[in-house]
Chains A and B, each alone.
Chain A
Amino acid sequence: MLELIIAGLTMGSIYALLALAINIIYSTTGIINFAHGELVMLGGMFGIVLVVNSGLPIIAGMFIACGMVAMIAITLYYSTIRPFGDNLTSSLGWLMATLGAGIIFRNVAMLIWGTQPRPFPPLGSEELINVLGVRILPHEIWTLVITFLIAIFFTVVLDKTMLGSAIKATASNRNATRLMGISVERMVLACFTMSGAVAAVAGFLISPIVFAGPEMTATIGLKGFGAAIIGGLGSSRGAFAGGIMLGVLEALSMTMVTPGYKDAIAFLIMILAITIKPEGIFGVAYEKKV
């Protein structure tokens, strides 16, 4: 049982990482970036080039990949979301555009790196360590810790800083925000930059577990969206809690059903959570209040 809980926490951290980055985009634009899973994948593939092929230390490679994926995220904004203007909720064009961009990213990755998954070095030692009688990789602890730190970072930025207030203002009313002298464009770009950087970190953390390849986020990308919705879109605490909850419940359910039904169980949990609390665990109250 303890093994499953720890595995659930690791998977939950991965879902939470995806959900956190999805949330930060939602915070300013009110949309969901459906190409986010592919940005995570690009983070992993850049990791292969920088760490595995070029021999850079993992941390150095991670910082460079953060910059690269952030640039791609900004390009994604200008090419798929900006053209639809301020009133994004009245158009579904961005939905198709981000979905399409995700497919393009995946196909380009296949062209460059092929389709076969590749091993990726974990953070810390490759030797298993014993924690409470359970053998785990140090990388799994790092994944949980880094996800927790990123969740705290986003919570502090959004709740305790001027930047956070400006982001919330942008989410609430763009015209009023402009009248207050805040550059809406800069706020959106800041969020896409942060989202891209977190996607790269997620790519580095996920790759040792799932192996790096163009299809690596095909299923977990969807679960990341689910985690964001369960936790409450727009809330960093919610994204973290939603991800962890989904990961642990999914793992525990495996004691009752065969792993072949794992995805069905995960999506059932999502549907139940949304039915019981449609606004998510932590809701999105600030968007309406600012």
Chain B
Amino acid sequence: MRRNSIISVLLVIMLLMTAVVGCGGDQAGDNSGQQAPVKEEFVIGSVGCMSGGGASLGKNMRIGVEFAVEEINKNGGINGMPVRAVFRDDEADPTKSLSLVRELVEKEGIDAFIGPTNTTCAIAIQPYLTEKKIIHLIGGCTGTDLINPSKYPYSFRTHINDRDQALFLVKEAIEKGYQRIAVAHDTSALGMGVQKDMAAVLSENGMKAAVFATYNANDVDMLPVAQKLKESNPDHILLFTLMPDGARILKALEKLDFLPPTVPITGYAATALPAFRDLAGSACKGVWSLAPVNTTYSETDPGLPEVVELAKRVEEAYPGDQGKDLNFFTICAYYDCVQLIRTGVEKANSLNADDIKAALESLDDYKGAQANYQFSSTDHEGLDAECLVTVDANQLKHGMYLRIED
């Protein structure tokens, strides 16, 4: 009898210990649990390049996140929880990026993650975020392979990927009636893949490229590339290049006196970034870029009132920048990242990553600052190329770019 009592007491103690350990797991913020833990605040971790030559990327990310967080807190937070954003500088170093993300997850107990600003850093952190089941919003990296719902189920993107931008460039040029389209791109796997895709689009329209001028990424002397472009006598040049390479090509074209308005040149979205314009200097005058439609204006259309309002608020907060460091569509991309997290959590009414993921995947035509977003269980790219327009990034109004219209 006495022995049975001891066993009963021991069993009760073990049961209590199991319950305590189980509760402890939830309090530590284990996102794999079924019940949403009660939290005092919702923490968003954000890592990006905030120093050195790429500092403007991180600065734009931070501004976008901070504006959205401030707005959400003013409106009562997410499901009543105030939002706190924690930022870290990875200096565009993938190793540093991973260790900072670990620190944010393990010490800060973040509920969602936004960033980073460089594709190589994103590649380094994605497996870890997936393992930890952290909702991950990418606002600036364009590497096509970063979005793969079966491999990285918690990663979503609010920016157009490289390949879609390349296809948009060529389709837009064809639509505008250009006949002799020349393309400059590097010999990397991405560059050569894009050449194949672009050639197919041209072929579908009964056309051939005037030239595909290739070069090795980070090549120093781009004059031969510029000459190949000029000799092909193009009526439009498309730049699908890394920022420094694109800047060097434009400088070489400047030497050949073959810049707009002699020939129109369009680069992909990165050529709108202040960092690119800084590198290319006077050679990027008149060069067109791509941007999401909502972040642009035209002579007749000032833009969506709520987006113009956001642009004015950013302009007021950073007077005198005038496109020196800030890029409005990048700010909007990160602003939308936070708003999408809020929407996902509110819709799921849970902090569980799988519930938030399912809520995001069910979003259809969500109205964001950049454009309208749509996700599904098989597609975590929020935007498609249809939301892009051609812009002149040198002509700013409240930080918004001038849309080029026919």
Contacts and interface: CB of A to CB of B under 8 A. Distances in A.
Given A7-B221, A251-B224, A262-B216, A126 B281 contact: yes
Interface stretch (B22-30, B66-74, B155-163, B250-258): B250-258
Given A116-B52, A209-B220, A258 B213 contact: yes
Nearest to A218: B218
A18 to B, nearest CB: 12
Nearest to B222: A259
A118 B238 CA distance: 23
A238 to B, nearest CB: 23
A112 B244 CA distance: 20
Contacts of B257: 135
Contact of B216 (A112, A115, A260): A260
B297 interface: no
Interface of A: 3-4, 7, 10-11, 14, 110-119, 126, 128, 134-137, 209-211, 213, 215, 218-220, 251, 254, 258-260, 262-263
A114 B255 contact: no
Nearest to B247: A211
Interface in B110-163: none
A111 B49 CA distance: 11
A116 B53 contact: yes
B49 to A, nearest CB: 6
Nearest to A48: B53
Given A3-B227, A111-B93, A114-B55, A119 B220 contact: no
A110 B97 CA distance: 14
Contacts of B223: 3-4, 7, 251
Contacts of A258: 213-214, 228
B91 interface: yes
19 contacts: A3-B223, A11-B220, A14-B220, A110-B91, A110-B93, A111-B93, A113-B53, A114-B49, A115-B54, A118-B278, A137-B255, A210-B220, A211-B244, A219-B219, A258-B213, A259-B215, A259-B219, A262-B216, A262-B219
Contact of B53 (A10, A14, A117, A259): A117
B255 A135 contact: yes
A3 B219 contact: no
Interface in B22-49: 49
Nearest to A107: B93
Given A10-B221, A116-B54, A213-B244, 15 more contacts: A7-B223, A11-B221, A113-B53, A114-B53, A116-B49, A118-B278, A119-B279, A135-B254, A135-B256, A210-B220, A211-B244, A211-B248, A219-B219, A258-B228, A263-B216
B230 to A, nearest CB: 10
Contacts of A215: 218
Contact of A114 (B51, B186, B247): B51
B225 interface: yes
B224 A4 contact: yes
A118 B54 CA distance: 9
A137 B218 CA distance: 21
B229 to A, nearest CB: 10
B253 to A, nearest CB: 11
B94 to A, nearest CB: 10
B400 interface: no
A116 B282 contact: no
Contact of A3 (B92, B256, B275): B256
A117 B215 contact: no
B79 interface: no
Contacts of A3: 223, 227, 255-256
Contacts of A112: 52
Nearest to B49: A114
B217 to A, nearest CB: 10
Contacts of B224: 4, 7, 251, 254, 259, 262
Interface in B155-195: 186-187
B220 A115 contact: no
Contacts of A4: 223-224, 227
A258 B214 CA distance: 7
7 closest cross-chain pairs (CB), A and B: A114-B52, A116-B53, A254-B224, A260-B214, A116-B54, A259-B224, A7-B223
B65 to A, nearest CB: 20
B246 to A, nearest CB: 12
A135 B223 CA distance: 12
Nearest to B283: A128
B215 A262 contact: yes
Contact of B255 (A116, A136, A259, A263): A136
